[in-house]
Amino acid sequence: MPNTKKLIYSFGNRKADGHARMQELLGGKGAGLHEMTRIGIPVPPGFTITTEVCKYYYDHHRRYPKELKTQVIAGLARMEKILGRRFGEGENPLLVSVRSGARESMPGMMDTVLNLGLNDQTVQGLISRTNNRHFAFDSYRRFIQMYADVVLGINHKAQGGRDPLETLLEHKKNARGARVDGDLTAADLEQLVAEYKAEIKSICGKEFPEDPFDQFWGAIGAVFGSWNNDRAVAYRDLYRIPHTWGTAVNVQAMVFGNLGDNCATGVAFTRDPASGEKRFYGEFLINAQGEDVVAGIRTPKPIAELGQTMPKAERELQRVCRSLEKHYRDMQDVEFTIEDGKLWMLQTRTGKRTGFAAVRIAVDMVEERIIDKKEALLRIEPDQLNQLLRPIFDQNGKEQAHKDGRLLGNGLPAGPGAATGRIVFHADDAVEWKKRGERVILCRVETSPDDIRGMDAAQGILTARGGMTSHAALVARQMGKVCVAGCEVLHIDYSGRTLRVDQSELKEGDWISIDGSTGQVFEGEIQTLPSEVLQVLLSGSLDAKKSRLYQQFAKLMKWADDARRLGVRTNADQPDQAAIAKAFGSEGIGLCRTEHMFFQGDRIQAVREMILADDEAGRRRALAKLLPMQKQDFKGILEIMGDLPVTIRTLDPPLHEFLPKHDNEVVELAQAMGVSFEVLRDKVTVLQEFNPMLGHRGCRLGISYPEITEMQAQAIFEAACELRREGKNPFPEIMIPLVGSRQELHEQNVIVRRVAAATQTAYGVKVRYLVGTMIELPRACMVADEIADEAEFFSFGTNDLTQTCLGLSRDDAGKFLPTYVLNGLFPEDPFVSIDREGVGALMRIAVAKGRKKRKNLEMGICGEHGGDAKSVAFCHQIGLDYVSCSPYRVAIAKLAAAQAALREKDRC
Ligand code: PEP
Ligand code: MG
């Protein structure tokens, strides 16, 4: 690191070295503090140690750059000058907080130390400054406890489940008959400080550090160290935050929300983070320190009540929040402290929100002329739209539950949606039960950052304590989980694994239902209904005009449609799926897998006859039975899709997939088919392959047995011709799978076109159609120009292309891929998000070669990646015409396509 490198950035007194766009270097919290200071918002002075220092710290065996010390001393001196106090001085001491602050917020995952700088001398200075001995010793005892936990590692985990300092506090309370901490006298607290120090000495073998500079460097090291604690690492894994980013550290002058009853601390959102409603929203605790609110230990009061006790501060808070939202042009999540009636802001950041809130805030802000449509589209994470399609409780089911007396209580509606599941009390159990296929609700007194994986595994989260901004609520919203927080009537007994409300007792494994939109908690299971969006779009059971949610969703989709260039089609195999796709605004079917039709009803019988037939004549007889059924399916889909394209793929999987595998099934089938067990078993054995994914499948089937392709083409064209005769305008695109050479496609193309011509002649109508291929093999990409001679369209089958490019079996990779991703060998699962360097490079080659040969070659993607937002952006970049995804991901793909187009414009 060069000598001149700036390692700390100061802020205070309306001047700041940093600003809002420096999140990378200063972390989110740091950047917010600097920006607020710049725009004249009351912020206690301080400085930010950059994320670069954190990186240095980890790269150099936990040592700091040598210039840091001088810069930190200069930073402290600036704070001292602004405040007229001195760090470590007995008379008028400067106390500081030392907080983590990564580029992306990681709520509660890393450590913080408050009240730093207190020792036996400075506590006296604090007493004379505040004239409040109780407060000073309470702060001192809190500081020692926090420092012991965070810096010295003395906590319940390290000490076998019992926190020694917490135990001393409990003893003291019992001895004094104190109900809450606040009932202890100043003398009690002073004694407690001495007892804490003695205990620490007996555990660590050395004194608690009295020198404020020793305390300071201890805290800095601990905060940097907490970047790599287990829960922070787990959180980053979950949210794919790079482990290399590091955290910044914010050192800031303390302001006290626990100085008395004209003091408070709280958090607020400029709009409701759960629903998105435009209302000032927040919670506070009188006479408390910041950590008490988020920790969910005391349930805070709604912000509306702040005006009753501190009207001036409340007005000021509202004013500051309004100006912050205006300045950032987005919903803000703030932390504040009121000391002696004066408001101080400790944090502002763009507030995390549910999918519901994301849509509502974006659309409302366009209507309020705060942002334009483009910004609205760019602000929503495409995957968040999933939440809008989640089930809600059936109103009748809920009413019945009420009548049956199954309403257990009401909590706070912290994460919207309906969730029903079996009760578990521990995060590890949630993970285990989910693995067994159970739906669970994680029920906790309150959650902590250690519960993150269990929260992820659960259908929903229910807590007995904590507010709308408690850990459970924040994290649930971020995950898009259903959450009811602070349902205070619940008595949870972890050791007995029970949950009691008055006389009712529920045990682990019992069913419970939580409504995260209303906060209600019910015993037992309640039926769910499709979301409002689905009720409007699919069942028509809700009038669009009556659903604000639907209207806003529709508005957003319209904006996305106007902005995007990529088409969005759907993978659908049946008429009902096609209808869903159409309702979501799909612009065609991008993949109809015909083999799925083979499994329905008694068709499988005819399929098996076809496979078992000894010769072509036998196969044709069986195929003739399948023909009318396939034709019916195709007709249904083509009819629903009107004149939109419907891409129908000829048979793809190896034939053994249609035959039974186990002896008992073979016996049963042999009897039903009137063949001997041996004949059938031999056939199954003959068809078995060592590596079926690379075996007799795809177009290789149609080439070995042209009569299969012939039958399928006939079914498609008869269906289309019948619709033509009915005055409709169907548009089938016949797609040949797993092609690796021009000749393969040619052979299939000849069959399809011959059947098409004959069928059209027989019906006396003309049908619009295309014949094309899937691009699923690296070879197909490399000879795409030759293949384009035969193909009118390409559709990238990126499931197989990923498998064949990376040499990763689709069926077996699950055993090791998660470890690969976890250890960073793959940045992401390549079956989820396109591997741009490998698979993506092949796609680029195919696009270029294909278009060079045939200018108007239509190109799309129908692998699972077609519904993945990042892959959609890539498809846009390489110039595909459309993506095709499952019906329920159409909205996501549309938004991702719009974002890709808008970002491209920005770059131009
Ligand atoms: C593909 O390989 O991407 C594809 C869509 O085909 P399937 O998943 O049916 O093999
Ligand atoms: Mg495939």
- In this predicted model, what pLDDT tens digit does every residue of 167-208 receive, in sequence order? 999 999 899 988 877 789 999 999 999 999 999 999 999 999
Is the pLDDT assigned to residue 860 strictly greater than 60?
yes
Task: Tell me what the mean pLDDT of segment 380-386 comes to.
Answer: 91
Choice between 402 and 644, residue whose per-residue pLDDT is larger: 644
Per-residue pLDDT tens over the stretch 733-754: 999 999 999 999 999 999 999 9
Residue among 573, 589, 591 whose CB has most ligand 1 atoms within 8 A, to mutate: 591
Report the nearest atom of ligand 1 relative to the CA of 776. 2
Report the nearest atom of ligand 1 relative to the CA of 803. 2
Is the pLDDT assigned to residue 908 strictly greater than 80?
no
How far apart are alpha carbons 205 and 199 in whole angstroms? Answer: 10
Kind of pairing between the strands at 418-424 and 440-444: parallel
Contact 467, 485 (CB under 8 A): yes
Q: Specify the amino acid at residue 331.
A: M
How far apart are alpha carbons 414 and 112 in whole angstroms? Answer: 25
Does the annotation count 471 as an active-site position?
Answer: yes
Ligand showing the shortest atom-to-Cα distance for residue 795? 1
Task: Tell me what the mean pLDDT of segment 314-343 comes to.
Answer: 95
Per-residue pLDDT tens over the stretch 790-810: 999 999 999 999 999 999 988
Per-residue pLDDT tens over the stretch 559-581: 999 999 999 999 998 888 899 88
471, 656, 865, 876: which is the annotated catalytic residue?
A: 471
- CA 777 to centroid of ligand 2, rounded, Å: 9
Minimal-distance CA residue to ligand 1 atom 8 = 799
- CA 829 to centroid of ligand 1, rounded, Å: 16
Long-range contacts of 21-26 (CB under 8 A, 24+ apart): 23/103, 24/51, 24/103, 25/50, 25/51, 25/52, 25/248, 26/50, 26/51, 26/101, 26/248
Residue among 798, 862, 865 whose CB has most ligand 1 atoms within 8 A, to mutate: 862
Is the pLDDT assigned to residue 683 strictly greater than 90?
no
**Residue 903 neighbours by CB under 8 Å, 6+ apart:** 378, 873
Minimal-distance CA residue to ligand 1 atom 1 = 797
Task: Tell me what the mean pLDDT of segment 291-320 comes to.
Answer: 84
Q: What is the pLDDT of residue 394?
A: 84
Choice between 598 and 51, residue whose per-residue pLDDT is larger: 51
Task: Tell me what the mean pLDDT of segment 408-419 comes to.
Answer: 88
Task: Tell me what the mean pLDDT of segment 651-663 comes to.
Answer: 85
Contact 42, 344 (CB under 8 A): yes
Share of the chain above pLDDT 90, in %: 70
In Å, how far are 64, 94, 107, 788, 800 from 807, measured between CA atoms? 44, 62, 39, 25, 10
Task: Tell me what the mean pLDDT of segment 592-620 comes to.
Answer: 85
- CA 774 to centroid of ligand 1, rounded, Å: 9
- CA 889 to centroid of ligand 2, rounded, Å: 19
What is the SS3 assignment for 418? strand
Report the nearest atom of ligand 1 relative to the CA of 737. 6
Ligand showing the shortest atom-to-Cα distance for residue 863? 1
- CA 831 to centroid of ligand 1, rounded, Å: 11
Report the nearest atom of ligand 1 relative to the CA of 865. 3
**Residue 479 neighbours by CB under 8 Å, 6+ apart:** 455, 456
Residue among 651, 800, 871 whose CB has most ligand 1 atoms within 8 A, to mutate: 800
Is the pLDDT assigned to residue 4 strictly greater than 70?
no
487, 592, 805, 862: which is the annotated catalytic residue?
A: 862
How far apart are alpha carbons 200 and 331 in whole angstroms? Answer: 44
Q: What is the pLDDT of residue 73?
A: 95
Task: Tell me what the mean pLDDT of segment 473-494 comes to.
Answer: 85
Ligand showing the shortest atom-to-Cα distance for residue 595? 1
Does the annotation count 592 as an active-site position?
Answer: no
- CA 560 to centroid of ligand 2, rounded, Å: 29
Task: Tell me what the mean pLDDT of segment 51-73 comes to.
Answer: 95
Minimal-distance CA residue to ligand 1 atom 10 = 800
Which pLDDT band, with edges at 50, 70 and 90, does 3 fall under?
A: low
501-505, 592-596, 758-762, 818-822, range with the lowest pLDDT: 818-822
Per-residue pLDDT tens over the stretch 439-465: 999 999 988 777 888 998 999 999 998
Per-residue pLDDT tens over the stretch 111-161: 999 999 999 999 999 999 999 999 999 999 999 999 999 999 887 777 766
Report the nearest atom of ligand 1 relative to the CA of 738. 2
Per-residue pLDDT tens over the stretch 386-395: 889 888 898 7
Task: Tell me what the mean pLDDT of segment 39-68 comes to.
Answer: 96
How far apart are alpha carbons 261 and 243 in whole angstroms? Answer: 42
Ligand showing the shortest atom-to-Cα distance for residue 797? 1
Is the pLDDT assigned to residue 296 strictly greater than 70?
no
Task: Tell me what the mean pLDDT of segment 321-331 comes to.
Answer: 96
Report the nearest atom of ligand 1 relative to the CA of 591. 5
Which pLDDT band, with edges at 50, 70 and 90, does 539 fall under?
A: confident
- CA 797 to centroid of ligand 2, rounded, Å: 5
What is the SS3 assignment for 151? coil
Minimal-distance CA residue to ligand 1 atom 4 = 797
Which pLDDT band, with edges at 50, 70 and 90, does 613 fall under?
A: confident
Is the pLDDT assigned to residue 2 strictly greater than 50?
no
Which pLDDT band, with edges at 50, 70 and 90, does 656 fall under?
A: confident
Q: What is the pLDDT of residue 345?
A: 97
- CB-facing half-sphere around the CA of 422: CA atoms within 13 A: 15
- CA 796 to centroid of ligand 1, rounded, Å: 9
Which pLDDT band, with edges at 50, 70 and 90, does 1 fall under?
A: very low
Ligand 1 pocket at CB < 6 A:
591, 593, 652, 776, 797-800, 862-863
Q: What is the mean pLDDT of the chain?
A: 92
Ligand showing the shortest atom-to-Cα distance for residue 798? 1
Structure tokens at 849: 């070669």
Residue 692 DSSP code = G
Q: What is the pLDDT of residue 293?
A: 63
What is the SS3 assignment for 444? strand
How far apart are alpha carbons 517 and 392 in whole angstroms? Answer: 9
Q: Which residues of 129-161 are buried (b: 16+ CB within 10 A; e: fewer)?
A: ebebbbbbbbbbbbbbbbbbbbbbebbeeeeee
Strand ranges (E), 684-775? 731-736, 770-775
